[in-house]
Structures are given as structure tokens and as C-alpha cells.
Amino acid sequence: MSAALIDGVAQGEALRERVRDAVRGLSALGTTPGLAVVLVGDDPASRVYVRNKSARTVEAGMRSFDHRLPDDVSEAELLDVIRMLNADEAVDGILVQLPLPPQIDAAKVLLAIDPAKDVDGFHPVNAGRLATGQPALVPCTPLGCVILAKSVRPSLSGLEAVVVGRSNIVGKPVAQLLLAESCTVTVAHSRTRNLPEVCRRADLLVAAIGRPEMIPGDWIKPGAIVIDVGINRVPSPAGGEGRTRLVGDVNFAEAREVAGAITPVPGGVGPMTIACLLRNTVQAACARRGLPLAQALA
């Protein structure tokens, strides 16, 4: 049996369309949401992300504010920029692109962002709200994972979910979101004993380890939903010297023969992250103005 493909490109476009509608409604009330992105240094991958984010923000009808700082910027200067954005009424969302250079304490910078503008959901206040079931701004990639899983199975209640990876950005928040969906959640990681057996229990497997094709087909329960968060660039066997291709954390060719539904890489979780960022910016804009969030984005 070949698994159903979960199309993150189409789902991302659909979510961005709903965001655009909500933004039109807000703009008609005279308030256009704004997203500020702070990029420190010159990392090529980060530059591509940031360029995409800005373009999508404008496409959705929102205001985009880009702040580019040199690689050798001091922590104090970066904190000044954050304080300025916290105070700026036109800014509803603030995103500081990670990773940051070594002279800067990323935890300190994330803590400086106003939690009401923390559209990445990385501030401990939002992490705590998510963990305690209170309204929160939720990290974008985990939110995208849950939306994709629910696109093939609207109720995840009672499922055995296994999350492989325990990062603050993906593994921990996706586990919290799945718990809130009434899954029985296991968080596995590099020290987990019998990882293949643990994975084989999963009705819903989320792979967020960052190791190319680490999960083979025979770790997957027949019929499981597989959400692959990994985006790993590896040498391409076809195409010759210097050619590369993107693969996930799951061996896709093997997994699709076993799973019930699976996200491809590329074209799965990736396109959902920016769509969820735009959604979060609308959520922040509505909350800051005391307006309800459009039902289509709830």
C-alpha cells in the first residue's frame, strides 16, 4: 500500500488565503497588522528565510519591517532594537531569526520580546501558557505539524503519538500541542532505549531530529500518520559532482510503503511554517486590539 501524500504546499496556500481574508477585514477597520523580522549577520539560509517571510507578509496584505544587523552587533544593541519594536504600535509581531552569533545570548534576546508580540512562541511566558492550556502564541512549525496531521484525521484524540526530538523549537511544543489534542504522547530522543520499538507504537509519528533519513520504513506502524519535520541537504547520487537534494528525517521511499499518510520533503511541513507565522501575526494583532480572532484562523 502506498501512503496518502499530505500536501503542505496546498495547505500552506489555503492557510495564507484565510490569513489574507482576515487581514482585509482588519484593514477595513483601519488596522493593518505588521510583522518585524530581525536578521543578524549574513547566514545564506537565514537570508533566504527572511526574504521569503517578508514577501509572504506583504502578499498577505500586512506591513513588513526588516531589520538587518551586522554579524558583530553587540547584545546591547540588539536588545535596543527589540525594545524599540516592543514600543512600536505598528508592530504586532517580532521575529528574531535564529541562530544568533556566539557573542549574543539567544535566551536573553527571546526573553526581551514582548510576549504579546512573540509570534514565534519562543518566550517562556508563551511556552508556559501552552503547557498549562492557556491561550498562547504557539511556535509555527509545531502548529503546522498539527494542522497537517488533522488534515487527514480531524480528531487525534486517543492516538499514540511519538515525537522524536526534544528541541524547544519543535519537539517540546509539538508534544504539548498533541497532548492538548488528547493524544498519548511519548517524546523520544538520542538517549531513548529501543527507539525502533517506541516508534513502532506510534499512530502518529513526528520526526524532528535533524538527521537525514534516520527513520527507516520498518520503524513505522502500518497505516500511521508520519509528519517529517527534517530538512536536510545531502549529496545527490544522481546529477554528478556538487549536486545536492533535500531529504527529511524519515526514509520517504520506505515509509510511504507502510504509512497511511506522510508529508514529503520538500513540500510538507516547510511551507506551513511561514503560513503559521502569518496566522500568528494576525492572532497577535487581534489580541492586542481586543478583537476576536477570525473563526477561519482559530
Q: Should residue 112 be labelled a site residue for ligand GUN when binding is judged by CB under 6 A?
A: no
Catalytic residue, candidates 120, 203, 228, 249: 120
Q: In angstroms, what is the minimal distance from the CB of 228 to ligand GUN?
A: 16
Q: What CA–CA distance (Å, rounded) separates 156 from 204?
A: 9
Q: Residue 31 or 141: which CB sits closer to ligand GUN?
A: 141
Please tell me whether residue 96 binds ligand GUN under the rule CB under 6 A. Answer: yes
Quick check: 118 binds ligand GUN (CB under 6 A)?
Answer: no
CA distance 285 to 5: 34
150 is catalytic: no
Applying CB under 6 A, does 120 fall inside the site for ligand GUN?
yes
Least separation in angstroms between residue 264's CB and ligand GUN is: 19
Q: Which CB atom, from 95 or from 136, has the smaller least distance to ligand GUN?
A: 95
φ, ψ dihedrals at 30, nearest 5°: 90, 15
Q: What is the CA radius of gyration of the chain?
A: 19
CB closer to ligand GUN out of 43 and 254:
43
- Helix pair 8-28, 140-152: axis angle to 10 deg: 110
> Which residue from 62, 85, 95, 164 is in contact with ligand GUN, where contact means CB under 6 A?
95
Q: Can 249 be counted among the known catalytic residues?
A: no
Cβ-based neighbour number of residue 96 at 10 Å: 25
Distance CA 68, CA 66 (A): 6
User: How is residue 227 annotated by DSSP?
Assistant: E
Positions that interact with ligand GUN (CB under 6 A) = 95-98, 120, 140-141, 273
